[in-house]
Amino acid sequence: MKLDVDVLRYLSKDDFRVLTAVELGMRNHEIVPTELIDRIARLKHGGTYKVLKNLLKNKLLHHDSSKYDGFRLTYLGYDFLAIKTMVNKGVFVAVGRQIGVGKESDIFEVAREDGTVLAMKLHRLGRVSFRAVKSKRDYLRHRSSYNWLYLSRLAALKEFAFMKALETHGFPVPNAVEHNRHCVVMSLVQGYPLVQVKQLQNPETVFETIIGLIVQLAERGLIHCDFNEFNIMIDDDEKITMIDFPQMVSVSHRNAQMYFDRDVECVFKFFRKRFNLSFEETLDDIDGSDEGRDEAGKPCFSAIERSAGFLDRELAASGFTRKDEEDIQRFIEGGAESDTNSDSEEVDLVEDLNEAGTVDGDSSDLLEQNEGYESQGKEESCEARESSGSEKQDASDNEENNEEAMENEAELVKSLNKQRRRAVAAARKGRKTVAARNSYKDKGGRSSHNSKIQKQLSSW
Ligand code: ADP
Ligand code: MG
């Protein structure tokens, strides 16, 4: 995944306005009708169509005309929205090199104004999983193609909430700085994933520390669920930092015992193979007894007492709701059938739109127009379901789709120009266009906000 942030510099306020309009439209459309984008964005004189062309050229949008003429965000488009928000908030001023490609994320270095380097994780839930589950009809049937937006956003929210809570409780995790959409910014861990380490000064101590962390997490009510050599960072002083939290579960999860044992087993296996550790002696050293261990020296889930606070409950009150957790677990465990965004998400999006200086005015009006299209969108999806074999492309395939989109570009440009001419003609005639019916007004406060961002971005 290439993140060409240079493009960001050349994007105008109108570009972001239209990009945000597509994001809002994706609240209830997998493909947002072009006309709806125009109505939400409310650019003068058919400006939306010109901007759409530009966004498409830069692969921030994907065009789809299979059912009706419309667009959706690509990962890159979503990345840019999150990055711009972060820049606006002053979280960082520059994006640097990519430092990690996880299963379902891309990690980049970002720099603060004072030069401090942080890590930015862009979640890509659904990236790898989609092809694997493509054959599962149930999954597809209930799945909206724009789920990746929602799920990636949830993953980021969960990761941020867990990282913060773990840090508060003294666990060695990165410092959680900020999150927005599918993006989490955290401190940069100095060190390497354990998987890259061939030798340790004190393998026993490191091993004890890691097993100790699994036990302490469980005592606080949590299981990491992906506690392996890829998600354990170690520095030159052999200090451990754990990362990667979107899949963590409570010890009251129905499969808690299995997840716990799996985490323990992963660590045992890795240390046995890589560092030739024999565990019976090592574990005896931890506390001088084998209490709470099985005959192989592994900690037993059933013997763990929840002693020190209940992080799982604390987290439930952190803004990461039970429904969020259910949705994300359903996906991680293999059957994402979640509804897309909740009401609160809709409010967030409208706030984002206003905050970005893109659309001012009455959000309910905005939602109302969106509603008008919702039923149409639903009909479309029923139709798509019935017409077997014509499975719609998924959003997570957007790289491919973009290529396809580029092929269709000539046709699209023609169509956009036509729509644009129509809008311009309508405006000239003084006829009320669809957009003009909206009651919210552009208050014109756009320039100062935009120039600030441009200034920040141009310093990249
Ligand atoms: P995924 O959920 O996709 O596995 P991770 O959070 O495990 O993503 O990150 C993938 C890789 O990126 C890690 O193995 C690590 O090398 C690097 N990485 C992640 N977070 C940080 C960080 N805060 N500091 C330094 N490197 C990091
Ligand atoms: Mg990982």
Give the pairing of strands 32-33 and 249-250. Answer: unpaired
160 C-alpha vs ligand 1 centroid, how far in Å? 14
Q: Which pLDDT does position 342 carry in this prediction?
A: 39
Per-residue pLDDT, 131: 41
Residue of 171, 244, 247 with the most ligand 1 atoms within 8 Å of its CB, for mutation: 244
What is the β-pairing status of strands 117-123 and 105-111?
antiparallel
How far separated are the first and last CA of the chain, in Å rounded? Answer: 20
State which ligand 1 atom lies nearest to the alpha carbon of 244: 6
Query: Does residue 149 have a pLDDT over 50?
Result: yes
* CA–CA gap between residue 269 and residue 261 (Å, rounded): 12
Q: Residue 153: is its pLDDT beyond 80?
A: yes
Over residues 150-175, the mean pLDDT reads 93
**Residue 329 — pLDDT band, cuts 50, 70, 90?**
confident
Cα(433) to ligand 2 centroid in Å equals 50
* The residue type at 449: H
pTM: 0.73
Report how far residue 60's alpha carbon sits from residue 65's, in angstroms, rounded to the nearest whole number: 17
| pLDDT on residue 6 | 75
Q: Give distance in angstroms: CA of 102 to centre of ligand 2.
A: 5
DSSP string, 17-40: HHHHHHHHHTTS-SSEEHHHHHHH
Please report, for residues 10, 56, 96, 111, the alpha-carbon distance to residue 6 in angstroms, rounded to integers and kept in the order given. 7, 16, 11, 15
Distances (CA, A) of 178 to 91, 119, 167, 345: 7, 11, 14, 18
Predicted pLDDT at 176: 97
Query: Which atom of ligand 1 is closest in space to residue 107's alpha carbon?
Result: 12
Indicate which atom in ligand 1 lies nearest the CA of residue 246.
2
Structure token digits, residue 204: 């026993």
Report the range out of 102-106, 365-369, 408-412, 424-428 with the highest average pLDDT.
Answer: 102-106
| C-alpha pair distances (Å), 36 with each of 33, 81, 101 | 5, 19, 35
Catalytic-labelled residue, pool 38, 106, 226, 324: 226
Structure tokens at 139: 């999954």
Q: What average pLDDT does the segment 316-329 reach?
A: 75
Active site residue 285: no
State which ligand 1 atom lies nearest to the alpha carbon of 100: 12
Q: Judge contact between 275 and 203, C-beta under 8 A.
A: yes
Residue nearest to atom 1 of ligand 1 (CA): 102
The residue contributing the CA closest to ligand 1 atom 7 is 244
Q: In what order do the strands lie in the sheet with 240-242?
A: 192-193, 232-234, 240-242
453 or 92, which is more confident: 92
Distance 108 CA to ligand 2 centre (A): 14
348 alpha carbon to ligand 2 midpoint, in Å?
28
Q: How confident is the model at residue 373 (pLDDT cuts 50, 70, 90)?
A: very low
Strand order in the sheet with 70-73: 32-33, 70-73, 61-64
Quick one: which of 262, 195, 173, 172 has its CA closest to 225? 262
- Six token digits for residue 403: 């290529």
pLDDT at residue 331 in the model:
76
Q: Which residues line ligand 1 (CB under 6 A)?
A: 99-100, 102-105, 107, 119, 121, 174, 186, 188-189, 193, 230-231, 243-244
Ligand closest to CA 103: 1
CB atoms within 10 A of CB 416: 22
For tokens 């065009």, what's the residue? Answer: 63
pLDDT band at 385 (very low <50, low <70, confident <90, very high): very low
The predicted pLDDT at position 330 comes to: 78
Lowest mean per-residue pLDDT among 26-35, 136-145, 214-223:
136-145
Query: Mean pLDDT of all residues in the chain?
Result: 74
